[in-house]
């Protein structure tokens, strides 16, 4: 990752309110393209809330308001003329708990391409489904049972299925909200290897509670505390020589 | 006889309560004495059972033993019984004896609590067995009476006959008037009305459920939900005269403007009003099911760029489908079993027709018509009611089994 590339997201004074409660107090951050940015911080620090501003998932929550400016490739994603539906096709999301739809594995992956009309024939869709499952590292495990329900897979497989589902609509960004928190260590290792591969192609932002995970998979790390962005730097720097005492306290386990 | 039984039951109740009070206080007394002997340091948990359990133990034994004596007395005395001193004395002596004997057993080690729990356990089993036995009894009665009917009318003639005119069977003295018991027109009427009702209640109820769970704001939901549930609380007889006096003439007028001649009573009038009646069943059951679809599935769909209606159609609806089928099946059973509306608004003529503007009759209406008024309970005319009931029962049973199988096969594991 080079420092000279243009940022994927440029955020200025981003504030999020739930009713009268201000969850984020003016965040300024530039998220680089093609790389993994990790958000860490104690529970309730606002990192998941911040993640959900990038695909406007906060819009679906009653009483949630976002102010400030978030530019994606220089375009304001909170512009009144911007359709959140199109934004979400470009910014995929993977959730904490694997949430495959109660449909077949094939239909799970084909869901996004179908609603967006990305393919014009069954053959084309077949190709896209296979490509997405391959990229998510799941193809070899499921190629013989594409018609079986996605909910019958193991937790780790489900999470990779959900990633395949997100990849299938050809996004530029993939948001991951604690994607490994419901997985066992082996499934987690597979998921992290997958993230390593995906970052060549996509901008990945991952929220995680595991500092070891942040250190392993991310290029840049942002530390959030009580709704503020405390520190944002290269992951190596954050974990070896943090510039802020609170970051130091958190990563060494004194707070959090 | 009747009065004496009631007094006896009252007496048994009094003796039971007396046993409880006596032994609880005797247990309390013994416990206090034991504590005093221990220098006031003993706590109540030092005894296996609290005082009230000793009381309950006695009460249970008194109730059971006196009831047994009471029943033995009933059997010995038979029908023509008047007041019997021996019987009364036996009951009182049994109660006193049980109370005193169990009173002697009260001690720190006597496991009264365990026995009381066992009594309660037994009581609960007995009560559920009663429910099961009742069901079996109803089935048995339906079966045996139906068999008697099938001895007079061949099974196949009943099940597949196209002619229904049971009234003529009463007039056995008239030559050639043996009555005909072909059940097809009656069941056809039932299903016609059920279809009309489900055509109304299914889509409307489902749409209401979707609107309430996915689109309506909390304020709107607060008003609409109770308003719909009121529909379920309206007595069916009110729906019946609404169908007969308000809706049926409207249907008739409407059909006449189209150039049809239509009777006032019609399958359409009864079916539509019945559909309105079962809307709340469909809507509230389906909205519970839709509500229970996890938010994470919706989020997953929105995050892929799906709109609200795409999410609803393709994710939430699929996930909720087993429950929605269950709701529909329940509504169908309700529609098939409904009596009052069809009795008033559908008519009694057993027409075999698929035209909803015609008057039809249903199984339930025929059962009512057959069993009310003067009738000889041994004639084919009344026995056929049991056969109708049996077939109706089998049909709803099959519906339920099918629904359960469908639900189990497509049950989503979220």
**What average pLDDT score do residues B58-79 get?**
86
**Residues from chain A contacting residue B292 (CB–CB below 8 Å):** none
Put simply, the answer to whether B315 touches A101 (Cβ < 8 Å) is: yes
For residue A113, the chain B residue with the least C-alpha distance is B304
For residue A56, the chain B residue with the least C-alpha distance is B303
Does the beta carbon of B132 lie under 8 angstroms from any beta carbon of chain A?
no
pLDDT, residue B121, reads 95
* B338 three-class SS: coil
Instruction: Indicate the pLDDT class of residue B9, thresholds 50, 70 and 90.
Output: confident
Report the alpha-carbon distance of residue A176 to residue A205 in Å, rounded.
6
Q: Higher-confidence residue: B161 or B14?
A: B14
- What Å distances lie between residue B239 and A243, B198, B227, B245, B270, CA to CA? 76, 16, 16, 10, 9
β-pairing, A220-225 vs A35-40, is parallel
Nearest to A166 among B299, B304, B318 (CB): B304
pLDDT, residue B8, reads 84
pLDDT, residue A173, reads 93
Tell me the nearest-neighbour CA distance from A52 into chain B, angstroms: 10
Q: DSSP state, B48?
A: S
Q: Which residue has the tokens 């608004």?
A: B345
Ramachandran angles phi, psi of B149, nearest 5°: -65, -40
pLDDT, residue A255, reads 64
Put simply, the answer to whether B304 touches A89 (Cβ < 8 Å) is: yes
**What average pLDDT score do residues A82-91 get?**
89
Q: Higher-confidence residue: B46 or B105?
A: B105
pLDDT, residue B301, reads 94
Instruction: Indicate the pLDDT class of residue B82, thresholds 50, 70 and 90.
Output: low
Query: How does pLDDT run across A45-76, given as a tens digit for each residue?
Result: 889 999 999 999 988 888 899 999 999 998 89
Asked if the model's pLDDT at residue B128 lies above 90, the reply is: yes
Does the beta carbon of B305 lie under 8 angstroms from any beta carbon of chain A?
yes
**What average pLDDT score do residues A83-89 get?**
89
Asked if the model's pLDDT at residue A21 lies above 70, the reply is: yes
Nearest to B305 among A102, A112, A149 (CB): A112
Q: Write the DSSP string, A114-141.
A: HHHT--SSHHHHHHHHHHHHHHTT-HHH
Does the beta carbon of B297 lie under 8 angstroms from any beta carbon of chain A?
yes
Tokens matching residue B34: 């034991």
Question: Residue A181 class from Cβ within 10 Å (0-12 exposed, 13-18 middle, 19+ buried)?
Answer: middle
Report the alpha-carbon distance of residue B247 to residue B394 in Å, rounded.
32
Q: Within 10 A of A127 (CB to CB), how many other CB atoms are there? A: 12
Question: Residue B52 class from Cβ within 10 Å (0-12 exposed, 13-18 middle, 19+ buried)?
Answer: middle
Domains of chain A: 7-99+173-251 (3.40.50.300)
Considering only CA atoms, which of A87, A105, A168 is closest in space to residue A135?
A168
* Residue B339 half-sphere exposure toward CB, CA atoms < 13 A: 9
The percent of residues in chain A predicted with pLDDT above 90, rounded, is 58
Asked if the model's pLDDT at residue B178 lies above 70, the reply is: no
Does the beta carbon of A112 lie under 8 angstroms from any beta carbon of chain B?
yes
Instruction: Indicate the pLDDT class of residue B412, thresholds 50, 70 and 90.
Output: low
Domains of chain B: 2-132 (no CATH), 180-410 (1.10.3720.10)
Q: Which residue has the tokens 């084309």?
A: A124
Does the beta carbon of A95 lie under 8 angstroms from any beta carbon of chain B?
yes
Put simply, the answer to whether A95 touches B303 (Cβ < 8 Å) is: yes
Report the alpha-carbon distance of residue B171 to residue B179 in Å, rounded.
9
Report the alpha-carbon distance of residue B13 to residue B7 in Å, rounded.
10
Report the alpha-carbon distance of residue A253 to residue B292 in Å, rounded.
38
Selection from A207-211, B164-168, B403-407 with the highest mean pLDDT: A207-211
pLDDT, residue A174, reads 94
pLDDT, residue A229, reads 92
**What average pLDDT score do residues B243-266 get?**
83
Give me the total of CB pairs closer than 8 Å, taking one residue from chain A and one from chain B. 76
Q: Which residue has the tokens 């009747």?
A: B2
Report the alpha-carbon distance of residue A127 to residue A103 in Å, rounded.
19
Put simply, the answer to whether B302 touches A57 (Cβ < 8 Å) is: yes
Tell me the nearest-neighbour CA distance from A102 into chain B, angstroms: 6
Does the beta carbon of A70 lie under 8 angstroms from any beta carbon of chain B?
no
Query: How does pLDDT run across A152-169, given as a tens digit for each residue?
Result: 899 889 999 999 999 999
β-pairing, A75-76 vs B164-165, is unpaired
Does the beta carbon of A18 lie under 8 angstroms from any beta carbon of chain B?
no
Query: How does pLDDT run across B344-371, given as a tens digit for each residue?
Result: 888 777 778 777 778 888 888 888 888 8
Asked if the model's pLDDT at residue B79 lies above 80, the reply is: no
- Name the least confident of A6-10, A197-201, B157-161: B157-161
The percent of residues in chain B predicted with pLDDT above 70, rounded, is 91
Put simply, the answer to whether A166 touches B303 (Cβ < 8 Å) is: yes
Average pLDDT in chain B: 84
* B107 three-class SS: coil
**Residues from chain B contacting residue A86 (CB–CB below 8 Å):** 305
Chain A residues 138-157 with a CB less than 8 Å from chain B: 149, 151-152
pLDDT, residue B403, reads 79
Asked if the model's pLDDT at residue A224 lies above 70, the reply is: yes
| Prediction ipTM score | 0.89
Q: Which residue has the tokens 């951050």?
A: A29
pLDDT, residue B173, reads 53
Query: How does pLDDT run across B36-51, given as a tens digit for each residue?
Result: 888 777 776 677 888 8
Put simply, the answer to whether A115 touches B304 (Cβ < 8 Å) is: yes
Q: Within 10 A of B171 (CB to CB), how many other CB atoms are there? A: 12
């Amino acid at each position: 990752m080079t420092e000279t590339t243009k940022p994927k997201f440029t955020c200025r004074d981003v504030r999020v309110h739930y009713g009268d409660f201000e969850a984020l107090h003016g965040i300024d951050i530039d998220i680089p393209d093609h790389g993994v940015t990790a958000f860490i911080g104690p529970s309730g620090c606002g990192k998941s809330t911040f993640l959900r501003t990038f695909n406007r998932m906060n819009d679906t929550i009653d009483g949630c308001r976002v102010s400030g400016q978030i530019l994606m490739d220089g375009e304001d994603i909170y512009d009144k003329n911007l359709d959140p539906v199109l934004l979400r096709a470009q910014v995929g999301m993977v959730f904490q708990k694997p949430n495959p739809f109660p449909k077949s594995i094939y239909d799970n992956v084909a869901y996004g391409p179908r609603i967006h009309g990305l393919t014009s024939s069954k053959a084309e869709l077949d190709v896209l489904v296979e490509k997405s499952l391959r990229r998510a590292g799941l193809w070899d495990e499921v190629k013989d049972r594409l018609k079986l329900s996605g909910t019958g897979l193991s937790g780790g497989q489900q999470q990779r299925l959900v990633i395949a589902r997100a990849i299938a609509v050809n996004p530029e960004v993939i948001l991951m909200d604690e994607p490994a928190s419901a997985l066992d260590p082996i499934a987690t290792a597979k998921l992290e290897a997958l993230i390593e591969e995906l970052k060549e192609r996509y901008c990945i932002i991952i929220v995680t509670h595991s500092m070891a995970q942040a250190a392993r998979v991310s290029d840049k790390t942002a530390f959030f505390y009580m709704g503020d962005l405390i520190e944002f730097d290269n992951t190596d720097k954050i974990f070896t020589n943090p510039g802020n005492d609170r970051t130091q306290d958190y990563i060494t386990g004194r707070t959090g | 006889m009747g009065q004496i039984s009631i007094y006896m039951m009252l007496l048994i109740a009094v003796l039971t309560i007396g046993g409880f009070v006596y032994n609880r206080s005797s247990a309390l007394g013994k416990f206090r004495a034991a504590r005093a002997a221990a220098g006031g340091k003993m706590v109540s948990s030092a005894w296996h059972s609290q005082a009230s359990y000793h009381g309950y133990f006695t009460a249970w034994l008194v109730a059971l033993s006196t009831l047994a004596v009471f029943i033995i007395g009933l059997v010995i005395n038979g029908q023509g019984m008047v007041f019997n001193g021996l019987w009364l004395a036996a009951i009182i002596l049994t109660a006193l004896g049980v109370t005193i004997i169990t009173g002697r057993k009260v001690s720190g080690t006597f496991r009264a609590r365990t026995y009381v729990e066992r009594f309660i356990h037994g009581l609960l089993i007995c009560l559920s067995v009663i429910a099961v036995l009742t069901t079996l009894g109803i089935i048995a009665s339906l079966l045996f009476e139906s068999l008697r009917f099938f001895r007079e009318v061949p099974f196949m003639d009943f099940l597949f006959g196209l002619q229904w005119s049971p009234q003529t069977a009463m007039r056995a003295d008239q030559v050639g008037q043996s009555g005909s018991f072909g059940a097809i027109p009656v069941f056809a009427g039932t299903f016609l009305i059920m279809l009309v009702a489900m055509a109304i209640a299914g889509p409307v109820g489902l749409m209401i459920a979707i609107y309430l769970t996915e689109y309506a704001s909390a304020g709107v939901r607060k008003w609409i939900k109770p308003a719909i549930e009121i529909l379920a609380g309206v007595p069916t007889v009110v729906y019946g005269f609404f169908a007969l006096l308000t809706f049926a003439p409207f249907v008739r007028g409407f059909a006449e403007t189209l150039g049809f001649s239509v009777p006032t009573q019609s399958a359409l009038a009864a079916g539509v009003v019945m559909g309105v009646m079962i809307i709340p069943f469909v809507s509230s059951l389906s909205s519970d099911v839709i509500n229970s679809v996890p938010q994470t599935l919706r989020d997953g769909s929105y995050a892929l760029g799906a709109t609200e209606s795409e999410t609803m159609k393709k994710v939430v609806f699929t996930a909720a489908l087993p429950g929605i089928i269950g709701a529909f099946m329940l509504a169908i059973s309700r529609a098939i079993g409904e009596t009052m509306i069809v009795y008033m608004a559908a008519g009694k003529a057993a027409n075999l027709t698929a035209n909803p503007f015609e008057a039809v009759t249903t199984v339930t209406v025929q059962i009512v018509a057959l069993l009310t008024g003067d009738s000889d309970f041994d004639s084919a005319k009344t026995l056929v009611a049991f056969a109708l009931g049996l077939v109706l029962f089998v049909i709803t049973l099959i519906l339920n089994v099918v629904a359960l199988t469908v639900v189990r096969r497509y049950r989503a594991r979220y």
